[in-house]
Amino acid sequence: MPPLITTLTLNPTIDLASEAKAVQPIRKVRTFNERQDPGGGGVNVSRVVRELGGETLAMILAGGVTGRFLEELLDEADVPRRSIPIAGRTRISQTVLDQTSQFEYRFVPEGPTITEAEWMAALEAIGEVEGGWFVASGSLPAGAPQDFYARAATIAARRGIRFVLDTSGDALRMALEAGGVELVKPSLGEFESLIGRELRDPALLEQAAVDLARSGRVARVAVTLGRDGALLATAEGTLRLPALDVVVRGAVGAGDSFLASMTLALARGQSTEDAFAWGVAAGAAAVSSAGTAHPRRTEVEALRQRIHQVPAGPVPKGEQ
């Protein structure tokens, strides 16, 4: 049986993406090349895992007519899902690319407030997951306690599930304090906030990441650095990979694509370094595609071959 990667998205979204000749105040801005994607951290991870040939289950909190639309989009994408109903309406985010300036404008609402019964139902659902890897990704909605991911990590550890986390702020800090995390993927800004100081000096960044990995709270730390590539830290040391040179068409979901590809490679038994390279390749493929988290498998594989610092490991038999 191929490894199952279950994801959890407490605050999913419907991502509307479009382009405009120019974004101007007051005037009516006409958009074109519209697309709708099911979005939110864990949802994006499941979609990319599916695209890369992995097995996944997307657990989502969904409510209202927009929640039903989100479910419809996931079904159209052939992503297996489990919905936890909520009273509030699922949020809608919008991204507009200004063709004149090439600036991308992203409008992201807070989303619904969830009740204790609703977030408790999500924790109970984690307790029903049977093995494999579990990715908790995205911001906490209003109403969820800041230690939610810490509780989730504890449940996963109790059930022998590999726990992966991508969030920020107190939710990240408290989950790491609980320990037992296999992989955490902050951006540079999120990592600086966690550590409590600026880490623009590469040596300081590397030392802080290694110190976290050696603390025993998390096995692997992958810090995404945008145009500067990414940094991997384990208790054994660090590895840096530069960003791949691709034509940028959108950045929404690039970090989720990175996380999906790296987690899938780890679940398939590939080395940490090889999995990290697969993450970098998927992130680059995502930014070269329009919409939210749309790396194509063939492009990810081609980009992986361009990373010569890390030898490409074999794809486990039956998953080619």
C-alpha 226/C-alpha 235 separation (Å) is 24
Residues carrying an active site annotation: 256
Residue 2: pLDDT band by 50, 70, 90 thresholds?
confident
Note the pLDDT of residue 291. 64
Q: Is residue 185 part of a domain?
A: yes
Q: Which CATH number covers residue 117?
A: 3.40.1190.20
> Is 94 inside a domain boundary?
yes
Query: What stretch of H or E contains 183?
Result: strand 181-184
Beta-strand pair 133-137/162-166: parallel
Around 277, how many Cα atoms within 13 Å sit in the side-chain half-sphere? 17
Sheet holding 181-184, edge to edge: 81-85, 55-62, 4-9, 133-137, 162-166, 181-184, 218-224, 230-234, 237-241
Residue 198 half-sphere exposure toward CB, CA atoms < 13 A: 2
How many folded domains does the chain comprise? 1
What CA–CA distance (Å, rounded) separates 237 from 211?
10
Q: What integer pLDDT is reported at residue 135 of this predicted model? A: 97
Question: Does residue 310 sit within a domain?
Answer: no
pLDDT of residue 320: 40
> pTM score, two decimals?
0.92
The full DSSP string for 240-283 is EEPPP-------TTHHHHHHHHHHHHHHTT--HHHHHHHHHHHH
Q: What is the C-alpha to C-alpha distance for residues 108 and 86, in angstroms, rounded to an integer?
A: 20
pLDDT for the residue numbered 313: 62
User: What does the pLDDT read at residue 245?
Assistant: 82
Q: For residue 158, is it within any domain?
A: yes
Terminal-residue alpha carbon distance, the chain: 14
Which range has the worst mean pLDDT, 71-85, 132-146, 195-209, 303-317? Answer: 303-317
Q: Domain range spanning residue 121? A: 4-21+34-304
Instruction: Name the residue with tokens 């998927």.
Output: 282
Other beta carbons within 10 angstroms of residue 90's beta carbon come to: 25
What's 114's DSSP letter? P
Distance CA 69, CA 263 (A): 28
Identify whether 311 is part of a domain: no
Whether residue 316 is contained in a domain is answered as: no
Quick one: the chain helix, strand, coil %, rounded to 5?
35, 25, 40
Looking at the predicted structure, is the pLDDT value of residue 256 above 50? yes
pLDDT in tens, 201-222: 999 999 999 999 999 999 999 9
Q: In which band, very low, low, confident or very high, does the pLDDT at 1 lie, cut at 50, 70 and 90?
A: low
Does the residue 62 lie in any domain? yes
Considering the domain boundaries, does residue 274 fall inside one?
Answer: yes
